[in-house]
């Protein structure tokens, strides 16, 4: 198998046929022997599954995986990766926001000796100011709090070598943030720039809730900054408390301007408050590492798939 193309599908009935014909045109140009298209139906509520099945009947290169419910984009893509056989694998959105024609460039650059070629967004069409702003902000926060170099303004549209897929399969964490994991893996990575189109049909499946979750998964999987922040806050509060303690002692013994009992009360509250925050921060450091690994559940459940 030369190339696998992974397409996560969540309510994309208006895009599937158009996407396939555009993909097919590009792939023909590459002159490959064997190509597979893997559609992953991620709990669509429209006719997507039906359309995919029809396509699979007509085209022997089309395969599908039907997940038991909506697991989310990252997990749908992971299911596709686990079931792919290609020496190279393309991940592409179904809504034609990622232009299939770019695959030609991606493939060429891969063959030039890279293991990852990601598509970097020069501009984004047809997306609201709020989405663009939150996306921009997220990519920049992520870059500042993580130690690895996750490229900014880059989604999952990319081509990766089999070597990368094999490593990804051995990274079983539940909080999937594929673009981060792929950066973390290393090898030779490069990019091509493109202008992101408007969605062809339908509407986005990424609600703000899903986006916020992806953002938090990205940050917590690749950075301990939030935990360190708790620890630092603990120290800052304790530092301030220390001065308040000095003031309380001064009021009690030197200026003698105080209510009886106030001093000891203040000392205890401030001191314990500070120590508690430090403690919670440190415990959090451990719990976050543990909880991610303990719930050893399968990442997704397949209801049916082509064999």
Site map 74..93 versus ligand UDP, x via CB under 6 A: --x----------------x
Q: CB 199 → ligand UDP: shortest distance, Å?
A: 6
Total interface residues for ligand UDP by CB under 6 A: 16
Is position 42 an interface residue for ligand UDP (rule: CB under 6 A)? yes
Is position 70 an interface residue for ligand UDP (rule: CB under 6 A)? yes
Q: List all residues 6 or more positions away from 257 whose beta carbon is below 8 Å from its beta carbon.
A: 251
Q: Are 148 and 73 in contact (CB under 8 A)?
A: no
Listed ranges 7-15, 102-110, 181-189, 244-252: which one lies at the site for ligand UDP (CB under 6 A): 7-15
- Exactly one of 10, 20, 39, 157 binds ligand UDP (CB under 6 A); that residue is 10
Listed ranges 52-60, 186-194, 204-212, 216-224: which one lies at the site for ligand UDP (CB under 6 A): 204-212
- Exactly one of 8, 100, 234, 274 binds ligand UDP (CB under 6 A); that residue is 8
Is position 251 an interface residue for ligand UDP (rule: CB under 6 A)? no
Nearer to ligand UDP, 190 or 204 (CB): 204
Q: Beta strand 88-91 with 154-161: parallel, antiparallel or unpaired? A: antiparallel
Nearer to Mg ion, 109 or 158 (CB): 158
Instruction: Give the Cα-Cα-Cα angle 39, 40, 41 (nearest 5 degrees).
Output: 115
Site map 59..98 versus Mg ion, x via CB under 5 A: ----------------------------------x-x-x-
Is position 114 an interface residue for ligand UDP (rule: CB under 6 A)? no
Q: What residues pair up with 212 in beta bridges, in sequence order?
A: none
Is position 134 an interface residue for ligand UDP (rule: CB under 6 A)? no
Using CB under 6 A, list all residues that contact ligand UDP.
Answer: 8-10, 12, 42, 70, 72-73, 76, 93-95, 97, 204-206
């Amino acid at each position: 198998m030369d190339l696998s193309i992974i397409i996560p599908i969540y309510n994309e009935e208006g895009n599937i046929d158009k996407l396939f014909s555009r993909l097919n045109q590009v792939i023909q140009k590459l002159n490959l022997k064997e190509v597979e298209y893997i559609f992953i139906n991620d709990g669509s509520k429209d006719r997507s599954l039906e359309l995919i099945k029809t396509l699979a009947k007509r085209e022997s290169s089309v395969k599908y995986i039907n997940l038991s419910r909506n697991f989310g984009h990252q997990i749908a893509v992971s299911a596709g990766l686990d079931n792919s056989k290609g020496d190279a694998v393309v991940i592409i959105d179904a809504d034609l926001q990622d232009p299939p024609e770019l695959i030609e460039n991606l493939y060429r650059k891969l063959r030039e000796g890279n293991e990852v070629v990601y598509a970097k967004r020069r501009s984004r069409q047809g997306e609201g100011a709020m989405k663009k702003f939150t996306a921009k902000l997220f990519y920049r926060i992520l870059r500042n709090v993580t130690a690895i170099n996750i490229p900014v303004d880059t989604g999952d549209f990319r081509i990766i070598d089999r070597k990368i897929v094999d490593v990804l399969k051995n990274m079983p964490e539940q909080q999937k943030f594929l673009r981060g994991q792929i950066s973390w893996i290393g090898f030779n990575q490069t990019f091509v720039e493109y202008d992101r189109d408007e969605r062809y049909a339908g509407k986005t499946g990424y609600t703000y809730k899903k986006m916020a979750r992806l953002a938090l998964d990205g940050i917590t999987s690749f950075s301990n900054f939030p935990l360190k922040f708790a620890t630092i806050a603990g120290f800052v509060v304790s530092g301030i408390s220390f001065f308040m303690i000095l003031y309380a002692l001064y009021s009690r013994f030197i200026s003698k301007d105080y209510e009886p009992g106030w001093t000891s009360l203040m000392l205890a509250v401030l001191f314990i408050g500070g120590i508690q925050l430090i403690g919670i921060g440190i415990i959090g450091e451990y719990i976050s590492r543990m909880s991610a690994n303990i719930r050893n559940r399968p990442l997704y459940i397949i209801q049916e798939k082509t064999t």
